[in-house]
């Protein structure tokens, strides 16, 4: 998958058939029949659908630990999209230094509601209603 004139790392080949590909600001989201590819400048996360244990909304009120430093400095990051915690058995992190497999990990990332809706509509993942209010 190629995104010309960007800092996104290219994926050479998709495993499944392309269902949807969105690009919003500094985030690229691709869904195929077999995988999810999430791209930010200089880093790509490649996750097979079979390796996903869950995707749940995550309140931005409880910031990840690495963001606490920014808050201490008076910087309050905000996300344009709701954050989701993707829990996986395995993901492949691709950056400029190479490819790295991560096992039993969580990925906290802001995802467009439209992309989440495509995941609900076009995959075998089971959707469980939540009662979370997004800012």
Q: pLDDT tens digits for 90-116?
A: 999 999 999 999 999 999 988 888 888
The values of phi and psi at residue 109, to 5°, are -150, 140
**Which tens digit of pLDDT belongs to each residue from 44-58?**
999 999 999 989 888
The values of phi and psi at residue 67, to 5°, are -90, -15
Enter the pTM of the model. 0.74
User: Are 36 and 52 within 8 A, CB to CB?
Assistant: yes
**CA-closest candidate to residue 79, choices 92, 62, 95:** 62
End-to-end CA distance of the chain: 32
Burial of 92 (0-12, 13-18, 19+ CB in 10 A): middle
pLDDT band at 3 (very low <50, low <70, confident <90, very high): very low
**Which tens digit of pLDDT belongs to each residue from 49-95?**
999 998 988 875 544 445 554 556 555 455 567 889 999 999 999 99
- Helix or strand (DSSP H, E) at 65: helix 65-72
Q: Which two tokens stand for residue 36?
A: 């999810």
């Amino acid at each position: 998958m190629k995104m010309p004139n960007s800092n996104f790392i290219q994926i050479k080949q998709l495993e499944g058939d392309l269902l949807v590909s969105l690009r919003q600001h500094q985030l690229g989201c691709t869904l195929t029949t077999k995988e999810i590819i999430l791209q930010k400048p200089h880093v790509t996360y490649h996750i097979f659908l079979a390796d996903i244990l869950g995707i749940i909304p995550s309140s931005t009120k409880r910031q990840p630990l690495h963001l606490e430093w920014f808050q201490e400095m008076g910087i309050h990051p905000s996300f344009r999209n709701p954050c989701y915690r993707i829990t996986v058995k395995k993901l492949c992190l691709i950056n400029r230094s190479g490819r790295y497999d991560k096992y039993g990990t969580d990925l906290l990332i802001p995802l467009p509601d439209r992309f989440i809706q495509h995941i609900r509509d076009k995959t075998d993942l089971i959707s469980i209603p939540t009662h979370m209010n997004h800012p």
